């Protein structure tokens, strides 16, 4: 189970991993906590009045296209996007949005989903949400809450039979060493590194650098990942710099998606190369 804040997050974080496991026979569910109703249109080609007026409906359709490309199941939890507040001081979040919900209210649908789907592994965001968007931070909180509560029959009554997932991972989406390795190969080939300015900006930001405990090799699925991303046409500019590095260089530099093992109820040895390490052995016995 992959838990995400908005439509498109599933395609920008962990998508190739999901495709790999789907191809290996795993049942994969993406839970999208909000509908992305307050998201900006980030692709200039899609910035039209009729799309701005119906952005929630458009993003649901985009999500369905991406779901089909990835080969996963997907469901919405039904919360309203909080938007990304801007300004100094930051304005209050909109009334009734996802990020202002009490934890038990925000987590209940996810607990229900865990108990219905019965995942062995959950992937989600770290305490800062990967980046400090209020919905991403709340996504982390409800994911941890659901992981810890879904197996307890005394918690969240009426949401199904208890089920205890076995492992919880955080995405390590932008490890510096990945971008440094890409820069090395681009330089070796005499190519301009499109991430150079971005890397410099990132050095000034105080993002947590989570230890990579688990690397899932999935480079052969990067093309599918990109097609799913591009399906989110309001959010992804296909001419943007994220697609400027050729796939062969990406595969040579870093053919992995990276994770931090945050909770485990099974024995496993670090570093791992499989999200189901320890789970496969436990389930078989």
230: in domain? no
Which residues span the domain enclosing 43? Answer: 2-173+256-284
Q: What is the pLDDT along the chain (285 residues), one digit of tens a residue?
A: 999 999 999 999 999 999 999 999 999 999 999 999 999 999 999 999 999 999 999 999 999 999 999 999 999 999 999 999 888 788 899 999 999 999 999 999 999 999 999 999 999 999 998 888 999 999 999 999 999 999 999 999 999 999 999 999 999 988 989 999 999 999 999 998 888 887 777 766 666 678 999 999 999 999 999 999 999 999 999 998 889 999 999 999 999 999 999 999 999 999 999 999 999 988 876
**Tokens linked to 248:** 């062969």
Contact 5, 259 (CB under 8 A): no
Q: What is the distance between the alpha carbons of residues 175 and 180, in angstroms, rounded to a whole number?
A: 9
**Tokens linked to 61:** 């359709």
3-state secondary structure of 29: strand
225: in domain? no
Distance of CA 50 to the CA centre of its chain: 28
220: in domain? no
8: in domain? yes
Quick one: pLDDT at residue 86? 85
To the question of whether residue 88 is assigned a binding role by annotation, the answer is no
**Tokens linked to 77:** 């939890």
Please state the domain count of the chain. Answer: 1
3-state secondary structure of 4: strand
To the question of whether residue 232 is assigned a binding role by annotation, the answer is no
Contact 36, 81 (CB under 8 A): yes
Quick one: pLDDT at residue 141? 98
Q: Say which CATH number the domain at 137 has.
A: 3.40.50.10320
Quick one: pLDDT at residue 285? 61
To the question of whether residue 9 is assigned a binding role by annotation, the answer is yes
Distance of CA 76 to the CA centre of its chain: 14
* Nearest by Cα to 164 from 119, 129, 127, 201: 119
DSSP symbols for 104-132:
HHHHHHHHHHHHHH--SEEEE--TT-SS-
CA angle, 119 as apex, 116 and 122 as ends, to 5°? 120
Q: Which residues of 169-191 are buried (b: 16+ CB within 10 A; e: fewer)?
A: bbbbbbbeebbebbbebbeeeee
159: in domain? yes
218: in domain? no
* Nearest by Cα to 278 from 258, 261, 260: 261
* Nearest by Cα to 189 from 256, 254, 248: 248
181: in domain? no
276: in domain? yes
């Amino acid at each position: 189970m992959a838990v995400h804040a908005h439509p498109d997050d599933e395609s920008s974080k962990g998508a190739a991993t999901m495709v790999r496991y789907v191809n290996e026979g795993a049942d994969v569910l993406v839970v999208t906590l909000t509908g992305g109703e307050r998201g900006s249109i980030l692709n200039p080609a899609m910035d039209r009045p009729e799309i701005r007026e119906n952005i929630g409906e458009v993003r649901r359709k985009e999500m369905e296209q991406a779901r089909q490309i990835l080969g996963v199941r997907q469901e919405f939890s039904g919360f309203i996007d909080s938007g990304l507040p801007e300004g100094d001081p930051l304005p209050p979040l909109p009334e009734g949005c996802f990020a202002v919900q009490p934890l038990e209210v925000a987590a209940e649908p996810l607990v229900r989903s865990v108990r219905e789907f019965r995942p062995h592994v959950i992937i989600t965001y770290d305490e800062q949400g990967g980046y400090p968007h209020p919905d991403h931070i709340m996504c982390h909180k409800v994911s941890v809450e659901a992981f810890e509560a879904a197996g307890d029959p005394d918690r969240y009554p009426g949401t199904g039979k208890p089920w205890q997932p076995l492992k919880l991972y955080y995405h390590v989406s932008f490890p510096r060493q990945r971008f440094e390795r890409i820069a090395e190969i681009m330089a070796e080939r005499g190519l301009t590194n499109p991430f150079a300015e971005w890397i410099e900006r990132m050095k000034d930001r105080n993002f947590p650098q989570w230890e990579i405990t688990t690397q899932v090799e999935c480079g052969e699925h990067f093309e599918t990942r990109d097609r799913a991303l591009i399906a989110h046409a309001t959010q992804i500019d296909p001419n943007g710099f994220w697609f400027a590095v050729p796939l062969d260089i990406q595969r040579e530099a870093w053919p992995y998606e990276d994770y931090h093992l945050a909770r485990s109820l099974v024995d496993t040895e670090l570093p791992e190369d499989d999200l189901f390490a320890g789970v496969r052995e436990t389930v078989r016995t």
